[in-house]
Structure 1
Amino acid sequence: MTTLVVIQARMGSSRLPGKVMMPLAGRPLLQRMVAQVAAARSPFKLTVATTVEPADDPIAALCAAIGVRCFRGHPTDLLDRHYHAAVLAGADIVVKIPSDCPLIDPDVIDRVLAFFRSTEGRYDYVSNLHPATYPDGNDVEVMTIAALEQAFREARRPLEREHTTPFLWDNPGRFRLGNVTWETRLDASMSHRFTVDYREDYDFVKAVYEALSTPQNPIVRLGPILELLAARPDIMAINARYAGVNWYRHHLGELRTVSARETRVPGDTA
């Protein structure tokens, strides 16, 4: 069984353009992200999926420089991009990880993949997001190529094409869904934000890398991050106003399986 991990990346972020090439501890954010994912112990192929737009040429150039496969596809239809990247790689299992998660813990990737593989044939889709419990920015979604192909062929709503997987997880009557919860039994999904969407998010991640990453040990992991934040509330406060903010807030009337409790608007900490 061939497993393909797809890191989706583009330069054209509306809130923080060019974020994937912004520097983190002397390397572009995307390169740090690739290193975090590649540190997982599970066997897989790795592809960065970007667009055919000229603005994304720097992403392709970086991938060539660091020896990572790069697939270039549809600019806005991420479902199309993921599916064709998977077909080209001959994947049986596809893992979706967004490029704005440069603090993703490799052990979390291993844990979600291990669950999927240990239950082989039981699930079409497994993630750690439905419901989410890990700190935001540890997003891992695993699906069979058959499920991804079905979504590719049948999904029609714009949010299903733009976000790749809602056709699967928002249709629990059609697909066999599994979820991996944080082994601590805690829920930090709305209180701890490790993803990069706003300038404050980048400043937060930059502060974490500067505190924890070294040339001898460049990989950052969840445990030390949480210890750092407990000791340095000033770092935790950098992007606190965005804790719990995610794309769900724009689609609460369209998504069947997501409630208002799973998202916030910027600045709302109620």
Structure 2
Amino acid sequence: MKIIATIEARMTSSRLPGKVLLPAQGRPMLARMVERLKMVPSLDGIVVATTVNATDDPIEALAAELGIGCWRGSEDDVLKRVLDAAHAFEADVIVELTGDCPLIDPAIVETCVQAYRAAGVDYLSNVQERSFPIGMDTQVFATAILDDVARRTDDPTDHEHVSLYIYRHPELYSLKNVAAPPELRDPELRLTLDTPQDYQLIDQVFAALLPQGPGFALGDILALLQARPELRKINDHVAHRWV
């Protein structure tokens, strides 16, 4: 079973263009995310799924520099982009992530992968019932399941949001949600990268916690925000764009 993390990333974000390459203490946000994902024991590889647009050439260049895979496809048909990436890199299982999550905790990703393998379900995530902070979003499913979705639907909305069709059709697919333990429960907290305020907070988190090592955990982030409540206020007014 080959398990590949796919990271959807592009430069043309509407609220914060170029966000995945913004600097985080001297390195691009996407590089920081990859650095953390390389600490997930169950992953056999990491692939950035970006677009064929010339504006995304720097993302492909960074992927090469980081020694990870890159697949380029449609900007709008993200489902096909991720599915083609999975086939190109011979993934049996996709761990679907987005470049919005540079602070993602490697231990949470590993927990989701292990839970998926133990449960024997079609789809597992920690977002069906939100309990983790926004920005820890992890979804796990077989490439064969996404193949099935691609055969069943041509709806542009389903193809823009890769796993939407899966969790909206529990009559077709078996689903499981991973809940945060009480000490990590904070579903309103934005640790996602989508606005200038988000960027300011995330950069401050990296500045504070990188000295202890790049693999700091969500618990470390929450402890930092409890000790320095002014940081949380940086983006607590930002409205999240839900699917």
Range class of TM-score, shorter chain: over 0.9
**1:144-159 counterparts in 2 under 5 A?**
144-159=142-157
2:131 corresponding residue in structure 1: 133
Query: Of 229, 238, 243, which residue of structure 1 is paired with 2:234?
Result: 238
Quote how far apart the aligned CAs of 1:246 are: 2.7
Q: Secondary structure at the match of 1:242?
A: coil
2:40 corresponding residue in structure 1: 40
Query: Of 247, 263, 269, which residue of structure 1 is paired with 2:242?
Result: 247
- The 1:107/1:186 distance shift into structure 2, 3 A limit, reads closer
Alignment-mate amino acid for residue 172 of structure 2? R
Quote how far apart the aligned CAs of 1:42 are: 1.6
Output the CA distance in 2 between the equivalents of 1:153 and 1:81: 15
- The 1:226/1:58 distance shift into structure 2, 3 A limit, reads same
- The 1:33/1:151 distance shift into structure 2, 3 A limit, reads same
Stretches of structure 1 lacking an aligned partner (at least 5 in a row) = 249-270
1:20 corresponding residue in structure 2: 20
- Which one is further off, 63-72 or 16-25? 63-72
Q: Secondary structure at the match of 1:55?
A: helix
Output the CA distance in 2 between the equivalents of 1:97 and 1:115: 17
Quote how far apart the aligned CAs of 1:48 are: 0.7
Q: Secondary structure at the match of 1:5?
A: strand
Deviations 1:220-245 (A, max 9, x none): 310110000001011010000126x1
Deviations 1:133-178 (A, max 9, x none): 1111001000111211011222232221111010100111111111
Deviations 1:232-265 (A, max 9, x none): 011010000126x1323xxxxxxxxxxxxxxxxx
Output the CA distance in 1 between the equivalents of 2:194 and 2:129: 21
Output the CA distance in 1 between the equivalents of 2:190 and 2:35: 20
Quote how far apart the aligned CAs of 1:204 are: 0.6
Q: 2:4 matched to 1:7?
A: no
Q: 2:52 matched to 1:52?
A: yes
1:204 corresponding residue in structure 2: 201
1:174 corresponding residue in structure 2: 172
Please tell me whether the aligned partners of residues 3 and 42 of structure 2 are also in contact (alpha carbons under 8 angstroms): no
Alignment-mate amino acid for residue 209 of structure 2? L
Please tell me whether the aligned partners of residues 116 and 142 of structure 1 are also in contact (alpha carbons under 8 angstroms): yes
Q: Secondary structure at the match of 1:39?
A: coil
Report the TM-score, using the length of structure 2 for normalisation: 0.96
1:74 corresponding residue in structure 2: 74
Output the CA distance in 2 between the equivalents of 1:29 and 1:43: 20
Quote how far apart the aligned CAs of 1:193 are: 0.7
1:195 corresponding residue in structure 2: 192
Please tell me whether the aligned partners of residues 93 and 140 of structure 2 are also in contact (alpha carbons under 8 angstroms): yes
Quote how far apart the aligned CAs of 1:39 are: 1.3
Question: May I ask how many residue pairs the two structures share in their alignment?
Answer: 243
Quote how far apart the aligned CAs of 1:185 are: 7.1
Output the CA distance in 1 between the equivalents of 2:86 and 2:58: 22
Q: Secondary structure at the match of 2:237?
A: helix
Stretches of structure 2 lacking an aligned partner (at least 5 in a row) = none
Report the TM-score, using the length of structure 1 for normalisation: 0.87
Q: CA RMSD in A?
A: 1.3
Deviations 1:32-65 (A, max 9, x none): 0111111112232111111111000000111111
1:217 corresponding residue in structure 2: 213
Identity %: 40
Quote how far apart the aligned CAs of 1:70 are: 0.8
Please tell me whether the aligned partners of residues 209 and 220 of structure 1 are also in contact (alpha carbons under 8 angstroms): no
